[in-house]
Amino acid sequence: MRFLLPSKGKILVISSILLAFASACGHPMQRRLQGRWLGESVENVNSSFLAAATGWAKGTSFEFSGDRLTVIIPAEDPRSGTYTIGTVHDDKVALQAKRLDGTLDPVELRMDDEHSLLWVLPNGASIRMRKAN
């Protein structure tokens, strides 16, 4: 039995096509989230904590790169890990972020548009974030 092996040129073309196909895969929301998101303001926070919470929010950021998420929160070390899109319903996005130690953190986002989102915290407060250019 004889096997027909493709030439090096054909292997390169096939590899390029497979790479392009693989990078095009993924959840459409994952592509929308890609990039750096910067905290701007807070919502649903007691007025006596508003100034401190706003300062904290402005030091907060997300960076989505492929299936990786890095969360930067003031006075804490950055946290990185992988994430998966759980559910998307209208503007509501539920993520599962997996820390390096294996801990899973639920993350709830509300997408306003391509450049603005709301990070809904478990206590009901929210951080308004904008996409960095």
Domains of the chain listed by start with CATH number: 28-131 (2.40.128.270)
Helices within the chain (DSSP H only): 8-24, 28-33, 50-58
Residue with more model confidence, 22 or 87 = 87
Q: Which of 104, 43, 130 is nearest to 95 (CA)?
A: 104
> How many Å apart are CA 123 and CA 110, to the nearest integer?
15
pTM attached to this predicted model:
0.77
Q: Which of 94, 49, 47, 99 is nearest to 76 (CA)?
A: 99
Distance of alpha carbon 18 from the chain centroid = 25
For residue 8, what are the CA distances in angstroms to 5, 15, 16, 20? 9, 10, 12, 18
Judged against a pLDDT cut of 60, whether residue 14 lies above it is answered with: no
Q: Which of 104, 124, 119, 122 is nearest to 72 (CA)?
A: 119
Judged against a pLDDT cut of 90, whether residue 39 lies above it is answered with: yes
Residue corresponding to tokens 């292997």: 11
Residue 99: band (very low, low, confident or very high) from pLDDT cuts 50, 70, 90: confident
Helix (H), strand (E) at residue 1: none
